[in-house]
């Protein structure tokens, strides 16, 4: 394929709140343009990870090239860049948006605008994209397209009088969307003759090709043999292959030129050399300056991950290594725990990211994991002037050495129907939120603004939010900064032995409540043993809560009938096997789920 | 006595019942036809005769089901087949299980003549309301009539089965049965705690544990039973069994101490010829295949590791425990060498103790014996 005139290229993404139909619209576009026939297409082609399909969210950016013959008789190349849909992946979203000229904003005709819609719109506006609203699900009985049209105009300030009224699910009015893409989304306007300047918006690892870099060519062109340099990391390599994205496959081509979206491979073995947001240029003829906006993404949430079976430690290490090849934002380093043995301290962008990695390890790599309570990064200012950043409560120094501590705060926006405003405000207050204000978006819906400590939202905040708003609240947040705070380390002692994996850092005011809940929960989770087991929570040497697991009274097979010794032995074997799945701390057997259950303390 | 021959025990399973009890998950019930089964059973008994040529039988146990449902003619035929193919010690213990209401004078006389010298009577409770709850076919009065007939027929080695921790039962009600039976003075009493087994009507009702005595109450019943029976001169010799001195059930002692046995009948287990095995549990299949190798299931080699494990976890069922000397003599290593750390740990928790060269469970150890016994199973690499 030769050079394509830029005025026949349209690069765009689709943005929407979860469930508003982003992936369905993408599927319909692929189908209508003949990129994929209905028969070839599985539901929602773009969400191709099993996990993504199950959760109905996009985790990795997906990209596909589409050829569309418009009503004016011309053929256009569409590059559809599907973006992750969760706040944890905001940075990836912003880079994907930077690869586009326009965005289709999908709004549900019944539900209207949600917090996440706004968050994404602001990101798109920041990236100077042309936003083209589309009103979806107009065939629902509860659809109110005119109300939603006004909402788009009033709340976002977008012109929406000619927004297509569609049903992605039932294929209504999809042509109109395709025509508007040609009309409304600007063509790219790069300099085809200038030095190479390309934006990396994603990368994946392929066992045969090595790292595959997804990029948008802004200026210049790149082909096999071009020597390139990655401006932020400084890595230099020769290009082995360039190509574009077919539906679900990589299609090699001669050259990628200004305005195009495609991939390139070099003999790169480490995804860390190809950071999302970095600029690729020619080594011999570099561009004057890199594209703006590159930042190194840093994990916000940490936890320990341990194999339930200690012998699986090497398997866990291999699995993390492989996952990191596709996900440079995942960090891990080895650590040991007295209670859990050898494992890794892992860093994540947020709680969803953590859950996704955990699920992928368990499903795709068949690992049985024990996860410790998530922690944020605390800053500790010691009396000797030293400043520590800790992600594992176990590493907290003795209180006498601490001058003060700081914890991270986020700015949060919660959109909720007005009837639940009280309940949500109460929740935010319980979570030490600082109220900033409230806006009424319309009569029945309000936007609450809070500053919240990150460590209060990484446990079960989402669950609590959903349960207290009957599912109607949506939530978005941004890192704000570090704030001085009165924090203490809470230790858990089981049978008078400290269990390091259960320690965590908590605000002093909430320590008693948390300690009490922890002990109660552990009492439920730890099975009765041959002897009485005290469970205690302590700050330093001071015990602040206690529960007792009573010894069990009876474990005896009264009747052993007719000489059937084999059956009796099987029962004993089962009993012994069961114990292997427990973690031995001193003389006490602690089941795996006890370590996790304390993460879900429903404090209400 | 035929000296020089090894000892052997025989178990004969007779699955017939008038009605299935509501707690019972044994391979028994009213649905099995007697004729074809007895024919298959006798074929099986005969077929193992040659293999047991060098053994002398020290005990026979007719279990069920309800063995007492057999007619005198059926008993005679069955006994005849056994006598024809096995050498039975003159002093052998020969037990038949019986349910009250299924024994008359004629049948008792017949059993006596055939050499049955021990009867095990399934009473379970002296309280009629409990008997009804369990789905038993008899009342306490029925039992008393049977008891009298058993005495008159000259049986002097008698067991009475009791069942405890029944739904809704309190301690006093439980002990009422124990005391009443002790007053009658059988030579042996078995007192089992009810186990709620899957697939029984009781499972549907009580699987959640609701309506049953608490664990604490159940343990109290067990401990009070032992104390009460001790005051009547019964010795607690196995987890659920009590006997007057010298009247322990020899057949069951054999199970706990590794004496070989042949089990006949569907589902019956054997320890013979260096393996453990069970007969198939399906009636039709058993009737067709009885006596052939095909009828056997779950065949496992009785290797050194199994023997060691069993000497421990079966031996610990006995109050007297396991002899260190016997262990060392049999395996050429000491108990300490194989099980030292386990023994030390449980001794530290007050669950095991060593007395006069025998390792045994303490009273508290008996309560949680499964947890202790499980630790006597060896890994593949041990032993």
In this complex, which of A554, A569, A571 lies closest to B215 when CB atoms are compared? A554
Give the list of residues 6+ apart from residue B191 with CB closer than 8 angstroms, or none. B162, B163, B164, B178, B222, B225, B229, B240, B241, B242
Of B217, B213, B209, nearest to B168 (Cα)?
Answer: B213
Q: What are phi and psi of B40, to 5 degrees?
A: -65, -40
Mean pLDDT throughout A169-179?
93
Tell the CATH topology of B304-374.
Arc Repressor Mutant, subunit A (1.10.10)
What distance in Å separates the CA atoms of residue A199 and residue A96, rounded to the nearest whole number?
9
User: B276: which 2 tokens?
Assistant: 């453990």
For A31-70, write each residue's pLDDT tens digit. 888 876 555 555 444 445 555 545 544 445 578 899 999 9
Q: What is the pLDDT of residue A45?
A: 47
Q: What is the pLDDT of residue A52?
A: 52
Q: What is the largest CA-CA distance in chain A?
A: 92
Q: What is the pLDDT of residue A56?
A: 47
- More confident: A84 or B346: B346
Write down the domain spans for chain B.
2-255, 304-374
CATH classification for the domain delimited by B2-255, as one of 3.30.565.10, 3.20.20.70, 3.40.50.300, 1.10.150.20: 3.20.20.70
For A424-482, write each residue's pLDDT tens digit. 999 999 999 999 999 887 777 788 999 999 988 887 787 788 788 877 777 777 788 99
For A365-411, write each residue's pLDDT tens digit. 889 898 888 889 999 999 999 999 999 999 999 889 999 999 999 99
* Band (A87; pLDDT cuts 50, 70, 90): low
Does the pLDDT at position A123 exceed 90?
no
Contact A305, A596 (CB under 8 A): no
CB contact under 8 A, B216 and A553: yes
Mutate: best of B14, B370, B379, B382, partner A, most A CBs <10 A? B370
H-state helical runs in A537-586: 565-580
In this complex, which of B219, B314, B351 lies closest to A530 when CB atoms are compared? B351
Q: What is the pLDDT of residue A84?
A: 65
CB contact under 8 A, A559 and B192: yes
CB contact under 8 A, B309 and A576: no
CB contact under 8 A, B11 and A563: yes
Residue A484 near chain B (CB below 8 Å): no
Residue B302 near chain A (CB below 8 Å): no
What distance in Å separates the CA atoms of residue A236 and residue B98, rounded to the nearest whole number?
91
Q: Which residue of B has its CA nearest to A559?
A: B192
Q: What is the pLDDT of residue B230?
A: 97
Does the pLDDT at position B50 exceed 90?
yes
In chain B, the percentage of residues whose pLDDT exceeds 70 is 98
Helix (H, G, I), strand (E, B) or coil at A2: coil
For B60-72, write each residue's pLDDT tens digit. 999 989 999 999 9
Poorest-pLDDT segment among A45-59, A63-77, A151-165, B219-233: A45-59
In this complex, which of A561, A566, A587 lies closest to B26 when CB atoms are compared? A561
For A485-520, write each residue's pLDDT tens digit. 999 999 999 999 999 889 989 999 989 998 999 999
- Strand partners for A498: A493
Does the pLDDT at position B233 exceed 90?
yes
Give the list of residues 6+ apart from residue A249 with CB closer than 8 angstroms, or none. none
CA distances from B243 to B157, B182, B254, B279 (A): 10, 11, 16, 31
A584 contacts in B (CB within 8 Å)?
A: none
Mean pLDDT throughout B100-121?
95
Cis peptide leading into A300, omega within 30 of 0? Answer: no
Please tell me if the domain spanning B2-255 has the same topology as the one spanning B304-374: no
In this complex, which of B276, B351, B375 lies closest to A565 when CB atoms are compared? B276
Residue A183 near chain B (CB below 8 Å): no
- Strand partners for A536: A493, A546
A530 contacts in B (CB within 8 Å)?
A: 349, 351, 368, 371
Does the pLDDT at position A195 exceed 60?
yes
What distance in Å separates the CA atoms of residue A87 and residue A79, rounded to the nearest whole number?
24
B317 contacts in A (CB within 8 Å)?
A: 560
- Strand partners for B373: none
Give the list of residues 6+ apart from residue A203 with CB closer than 8 angstroms, or none. A211, A212, A213, A214, A271, A274, A276, A326, A328
Does the pLDDT at position A324 exceed 50?
yes
- More confident: A310 or B318: B318
Mean pLDDT throughout A153-165?
89
For A253-273, write each residue's pLDDT tens digit. 999 999 999 999 988 777 777
- Which phi-psi region, left, alpha or beta, contains residue A454 (left: φ > 0; alpha: ψ -120 to 50)? alpha
- What is the pLDDT of chain A when averaged over all its residues? 86
User: A106: which 2 tokens?
Assistant: 């999908």
CB contact under 8 A, A565 and B268: no
Does the pLDDT at position A602 exceed 80?
no
CB contact under 8 A, A553 and B313: no
For Cα atoms B189, B240, A568, give the angle at the middle one, nearest 5 degrees. Answer: 135
Helix (H, G, I), strand (E, B) or coil at A484: strand
Contact A176, A163 (CB under 8 A): no
B308 contacts in A (CB within 8 Å)?
A: none
Residue B263 near chain A (CB below 8 Å): yes
């Amino acid at each position: 394929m030769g050079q394509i005139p830029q005025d026949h290229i349209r690069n765009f993404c689709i943005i929407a709140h979860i469930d508003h139909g982003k992936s369905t619209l993408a599927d319909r576009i692929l189908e209508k343009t003949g990129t994929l026939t209905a028969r070839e297409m599985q539901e929602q082609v773009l969400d191709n990870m099993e996990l993504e399909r199950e959760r109905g969210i996009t985790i990795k950016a997906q990209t596909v090239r589409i050829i569309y013959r418009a009503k004016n008789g011309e053929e256009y190349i569409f590059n559809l860049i599907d973006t992750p849909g969760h706040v944890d992946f905001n940075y990836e979203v912003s880079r994907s948006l930077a690869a586009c000229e326009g965005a289709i904003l999908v709004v549900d005709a019944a539900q209207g605008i949600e917090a996440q819609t706004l968050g994404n719109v602001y990101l798109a506006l920041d990236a100077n994209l042309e936003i083209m609203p589309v009103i979806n699900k107009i065939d629902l009985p509860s659809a109110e397209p005119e109300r939603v049209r006004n909402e788009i105009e009033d709340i976002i300030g977008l012109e929406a009088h000619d927004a297509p009224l569609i049903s992605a699910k039932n294929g209504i009015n999809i042509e109109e969307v395709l025509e508007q893409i040609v009309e409304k989304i600007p063509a790219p306007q790069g300099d085809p003759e200038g030095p190479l300047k390309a934006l990396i918006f994603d990368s994946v690892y392929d066992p045969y090709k090595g790292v595959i870099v997804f990029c948008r060519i802004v200026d210049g062109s790149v082909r096999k043999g071009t020597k390139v340099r990655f401006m932020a990391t400084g890595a230099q390599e020769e290009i082995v292959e360039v190509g574009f994205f077919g539906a679900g496959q990589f299609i090699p081509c001669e050259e990628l030129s200004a305005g195009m979206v495609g991939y390139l491979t070099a003999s790169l073995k480490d995804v860390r050399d190809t950071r999302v947001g970095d600029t690729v240029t020619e080594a011999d003829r570099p561009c004057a300056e890199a594209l703006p906006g590159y930042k190194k993404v840093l994990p916000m949430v940490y936890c320990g991950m341990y194999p339930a079976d200690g012998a699986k430690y090497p398997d866990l290490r291999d699995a993390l290594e492989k996952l990191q090849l596709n996900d440079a934002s995942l960090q891990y380093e080895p650590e040991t725990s007295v209670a859990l043995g050898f494992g890794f301290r892992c860093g994540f962008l947020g709680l969803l990211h953590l859950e996704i990695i955990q699920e992928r390890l368990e499903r795709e790599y068949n690992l049985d994991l024990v996860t410790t309570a998530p922690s944020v990064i605390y800053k500790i200012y010691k009396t000797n002037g030293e400043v520590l950043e800790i992600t594992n409560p176990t590493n907290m120094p003795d209180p006498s050495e601490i001058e003060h501590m700081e914890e991270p705060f986020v700015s949060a926006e919660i959109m909720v129907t007005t009837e639940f405003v009280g309940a949500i405000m109460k929740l935010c207050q319980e979570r030490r939120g600082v109220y900033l204000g409230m806006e009424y978006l319309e009569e029945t819906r309000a936007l609450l603004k809070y500053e919240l400590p990150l460590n209060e939202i990484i446990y079960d905040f989402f669950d609590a939010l959903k349960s207290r708003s009957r599912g109607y609240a949506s939530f978005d947040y941004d890192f704000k900064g570090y704030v001085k705070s009165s924090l203490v380390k809470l230790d858990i002692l089981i049978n008078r032995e400290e269990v390091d994996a259960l320690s965590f850092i908590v605000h002093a005011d909430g320590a008693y409540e948390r300690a009490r809940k922890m002990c109660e929960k552990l009492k439920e989770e730890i099975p009765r043993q041959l002897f009485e087991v005290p469970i205690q929570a302590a700050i330093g040497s001071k015990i602040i809560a206690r529960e007792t697991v009573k010894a069990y009274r009876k474990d005896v097979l009264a009747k052993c009938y007719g000489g059937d010794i084999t059956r009796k032995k099987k029962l004993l074997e089962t009993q012994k096997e069961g114990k292997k799945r427990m973690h031995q701390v001193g003389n006490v057997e602690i089941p795996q789920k006890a370590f996790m259950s304390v993460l879900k303390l429903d404090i209400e | 006595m035929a000296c020089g021959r090894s000892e052997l025990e025989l178990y004969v399973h007779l699955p017939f019942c008038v009605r299935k009890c509501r707690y019972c998950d044994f391979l028994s019930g009213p649905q099995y036809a007697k004729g074809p089964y007895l024919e298959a059973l006798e074929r099986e008994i005969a077929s193992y005769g040659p293999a047991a040529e060098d053994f002398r039988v020290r005990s026979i146990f007719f279990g069920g089901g309800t063995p007492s449902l057999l007619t005198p003619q059926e008993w005679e035929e069955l006994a005849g087949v056994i006598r024809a193919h096995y050498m039975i010690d003159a002093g052998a213990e020969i037990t038949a299980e019986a349910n009250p209401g299924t024994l008359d004078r004629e049948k008792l006389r017949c059993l006596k003549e055939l050499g049955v010298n021990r009867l095990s009577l399934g009473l379970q409770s002296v309280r009629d309301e409990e008997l009804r709850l369990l789905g038993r076919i008899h009342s306490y009065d029925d039992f008393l009539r049977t008891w009298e007939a058993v005495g008159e027929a000259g049986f002097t080695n008698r067991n009475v089965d009791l069942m405890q921790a029944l739904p809704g039962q309190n301690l006093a009600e439980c002990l009422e049965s124990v005391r009443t039976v002790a007053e009658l003075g059988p030579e042996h009493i078995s007192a089992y705690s009810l186990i709620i087994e899957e697939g029984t009507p009781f499972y549907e009702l009580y699987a959640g544990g609701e309506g049953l005595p608490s664990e604490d109450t159940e343990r109290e019943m067990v401990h009070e039973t032992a104390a009460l029976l001790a005051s009547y001169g019964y010795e607690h010799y196995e987890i659920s069994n009590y006997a007057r001195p010298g009247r322990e059930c020899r057949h069951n002692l054999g199970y706990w101490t590794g004496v070989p046995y042949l089990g006949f009948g569907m589902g019956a287990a054997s320890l013979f010829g260096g393996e453990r095995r069970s007969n198939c549990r399906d009636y039709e299949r058993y009737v067709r295949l009885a006596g052939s190798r095909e009828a056997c299931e779950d065949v496992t080699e009785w290797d050194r590791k199994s023997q060691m494990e069993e000497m421990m976890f079966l031996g610990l069922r006995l109050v007297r425990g396991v002899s260190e000397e016997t262990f060392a003599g049999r395996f050429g290593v000491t108990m300490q060498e194989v099980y030292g750390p386990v023994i030390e740990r449980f001794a530290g928790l007050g669950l095991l103790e060593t007395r006069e060269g025998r390792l045994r469970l303490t009273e508290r150890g008996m309560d949680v014996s499964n947890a202790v016994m499980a630790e006597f199973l060896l890994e593949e690499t041990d032993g």
